[in-house]
Amino acid sequence: MNLDQAYSPDAFRQQGHALIDLLADHLQRAQTGTQPTINYIEPDKALTYWQTDFEQPIQSDPLPLFTDMIERSIHVHNPRFMGHQIAPPLPLSALTGVLTGLLSQGMGVYEMGMTANALERIVTQWLAQKLNLGAEAGGLLTSGGTLANLTALLTARAIVGGTPDSDHNVWEDGTTNRLAIMVSGEAHYCVDRAARIMGLGSAGIIKIPVNERYQMRTELMDDYLEQAKADGLTVFAVVGSACSTSTGSYDDLTAIADFCTRHNLWFHADGAHGGVAALSDTYRHLVQGIDRADSVVIDFHKMMMIPALTTAVLYRRDADAYRTFQQRAQYLWTDADAKDWFNSGKRTFECTKLMMSAKIYAILHTYGERIFTEYIDTVYGLARRFAGQIRNRPTLELAIEPESNIVCFRHVGDGSDTPAYLNERNAQIRQKLLQDGRFYIVQTTLNGQLWLRVSLMNSFTTDAQLSELLDDITACI
């Protein structure tokens, strides 16, 4: 095989048709749910398998390899997939991925992504308007919620993290204050990680306890702020979870917004999973107050059916985004200070970046925004009915009534077992389900107790399949 052959349009055409046929067959099979969701293999065995494969002579036909990769992956389109929060991507968004893969627009500067940058502007402004962030709102796309939360907190620090009454600039001078953020004890670990990357250390992450519904106890915020000040810390931002990852609980965003207004702090809403409730007439009330956030993060690969990774960072004042990174890169931009939306690399952590905007734009262009509303209403509704099924089974216990499509529950038997035994039993149930492979669910720990955790990510999951899952779980014992 030489370069001419490797770049051959004819070979691309032929392999492309074959690949799409393969994927369409896979999709059809996965959606019927008749096959395992996961053929679980221990990590060492998987590595040995692929090492052996790697040592084989090269094969000119990639199709057997693709087939093998499909077989040896978890199948997110199977309606019995209900583990981590990855959406089964819309087939059209996957096809758009083939397109953007071949076009490979670098995006950081305008010429390297003329369409990519324009589409990014449109989809971020569209989503910002859906969240009611106001006329000046805008944002950017970046590679995942983790990086998105870091980006928003870096913006917050650049704007609010200076010394009051001075022109201290964190970008130029580094941090001299002992800075801190306030966040719920149930926030995603990436917020903690972002704070540590920013050099805030353990003291700089003030974790507010949660109530019995795993929501931040916002009535405690004043006390915690006083204590932080007494400890010599300068709090610059509060992060609200919309919703939290473990239990899918929504923090009281209005209370956080009021607090931030009162104390002149940056209000960041981590809506990576559940921010999209804003698109639904039925569930919008859950994110009441999100329109007052200074910044919001939303993952398209979780609740918007776009392949991983595709995340929006939205700002109430689009101009704020230019203050995050103040890089002078002469070979990229002639004017480092200009607020030019079309050079998206000025505002993103990435330099070269995937053309992720195309996947979102293609969906909006082809199906309209109602596809998102329909999805949210379906999976959130499913979770509420599933909670009802759990309540009706005396040997099962529901952690809390679900607010989103995340449901935590556990097997408690007749209620006479010790907490340690219950933890062990539920861990065994989850392990058995994994080995069996028909259903894929995960687990989480709440207040030292182990719970089974389900994220209903597939709009084709039926009530009957959920009942079957509960049958399997009770039969495990």
Ligand X SMILES: *Cc1c(COP(=O)(O)O)cnc(C)c1O
- Using CB under 6 A as the binding rule, the residues of this chain from 78 to 97 that contact ligand X are 85
Give me the sheet containing 406-411, strands edge to edge: 396-398, 406-411, 449-455, 442-446
Q: Is 461 in the site for ligand X (CB under 6 A)?
A: no
**Residue sitting closest to ligand X (CB):** 145
- Using CB under 6 A as the binding rule, the residues of this chain from 144 to 183 that contact ligand X are 144-146, 149
Q: Is 289 in the site for ligand X (CB under 6 A)?
A: no
Query: Is the CB of residue 97 less than 8 Å from the CB of residue 20?
Result: no
Q: Smallest distance, Å, CB 197 to ligand X?
A: 13
Structure tokens at 56: 């084989």
Q: Is 313 in the site for ligand X (CB under 6 A)?
A: no
Q: Quick one: 186 or 291, whose CB is closer to ligand X?
A: 186
Q: Quick one: 190 or 313, whose CB is closer to ligand X?
A: 190
Contacts 24+ apart (CB under 8 A), 186-189: 186/210, 186/214, 186/215, 186/216, 186/241, 186/244, 186/245, 186/246, 186/247, 186/249, 187/239, 187/241, 187/244, 187/270, 188/145, 188/149, 188/241, 188/244, 188/245, 188/270, 188/272
Q: Is 381 in the site for ligand X (CB under 6 A)?
A: no
**Residue of 120, 252, 270, 291 that binds ligand X (CB under 6 A):** 270
Q: Is 248 in the site for ligand X (CB under 6 A)?
A: no
Q: Smallest distance, Å, CB 272 to ligand X?
A: 4
H/E stretch holding 373 = helix 370-391
What is the signed CA dihedral for 349, 354, 358, 359, rounded to 10 degrees? Answer: -100
Cis amide prior to 309 (ω within 30 degrees): yes
Q: Quick one: 145 or 307, whose CB is closer to ligand X?
A: 145
Only segment of 1-9, 205-213, 265-273, 453-461 that touches ligand X (CB under 6 A): 265-273
> What is the distance between the alpha carbons of residues 1 and 24, in angstroms, rounded to a whole number?
28
Q: Smallest distance, Å, CB 258 to ligand X?
A: 22
Only segment of 119-127, 141-149, 368-376, 468-476 that touches ligand X (CB under 6 A): 141-149
Q: Smallest distance, Å, CB 297 to ligand X?
A: 7
**Residue of 75, 77, 273, 425 that binds ligand X (CB under 6 A):** 273
Q: Is 444 in the site for ligand X (CB under 6 A)?
A: no
| Cα dihedral 390, 393, 394, 396 sign | negative
H/E stretch holding 240 = strand 234-241
Q: Quick one: 257 or 272, whose CB is closer to ligand X?
A: 272
Q: Is 402 in the site for ligand X (CB under 6 A)?
A: no
Q: Smallest distance, Å, CB 470 to ligand X?
A: 25
Q: Smallest distance, Å, CB 270 to ligand X?
A: 5
How many residues touch ligand X (CB under 6 A)?
A: 15
Q: Is 272 in the site for ligand X (CB under 6 A)?
A: yes
**Residue of 120, 299, 318, 403 that binds ligand X (CB under 6 A):** 299
Query: Residues 6 or more apart from 250 whose CB is under 8 A from it?
Result: 215, 241, 242, 243, 244, 274, 277, 286, 287, 403, 404
Q: Is 327 helix (H, G, I), strand (E, B) or coil?
A: coil
Nearest Cα neighbor of 345 from 99, 98, 120, 93 is 120
Q: Quick one: 148 or 257, whose CB is closer to ligand X?
A: 148
- Using CB under 6 A as the binding rule, the residues of this chain from 408 to 427 that contact ligand X are none
Only segment of 7-15, 198-206, 270-278, 346-354 that touches ligand X (CB under 6 A): 270-278
Query: Residues 6 or more apart from 127 whose CB is under 8 A from it?
Result: 139, 298, 312, 314
Q: Smallest distance, Å, CB 262 to ligand X?
A: 25
Q: Smallest distance, Å, CB 84 to ligand X?
A: 8
Q: Quick one: 146 or 344, whose CB is closer to ligand X?
A: 146
**Residue of 124, 151, 184, 241 that binds ligand X (CB under 6 A):** 241
Nearest Cα neighbor of 116 from 129, 130, 104 is 104
List interacting residues with ligand X (CB under 6 A).
85, 144-146, 149, 188, 190, 241, 245, 270, 272-273, 299, 309, 311
